[in-house]
Amino acid sequence: MTTDLWMLLAAAGLHWFIILAAATPKILGNGIGWAAGNRDDSPDPPAWVARTDRLSANMLENLPIFAVLVLVAHVSGNADWLSALGAMVFLGGRVGHAIAYMAGIPFLRTGLWVVSIVGMGMIAAAIVV
Query: What domains are defined for the chain?
Result: 3-36+47-128 (1.20.120.550)
Long-range contacts, stretch 50-58, CB < 8 angstroms, 24+ apart: 51/101, 51/102, 51/104, 52/18, 52/21, 52/22, 52/101, 52/102, 53/22, 54/101, 55/18, 55/22, 55/97, 55/98, 55/101, 55/102, 56/15, 56/18, 56/19, 56/22, 58/97, 58/101, 58/113
Mean pLDDT on 4-18 = 98
Model confidence at 30, pLDDT cuts 50, 70, 90, reads confident
**What is the model's pTM?**
0.92
54-109 tens-digit pLDDT? 999 999 999 999 999 999 999 999 999 999 999 999 999 999 999 999 999 999 99
Mean pLDDT computed over every residue of the chain:
95
Model confidence at 34, pLDDT cuts 50, 70, 90, reads confident
Q: Work out the percent of the chain whose per-residue pLDDT is above 70.
A: 100
Model confidence at 119, pLDDT cuts 50, 70, 90, reads very high
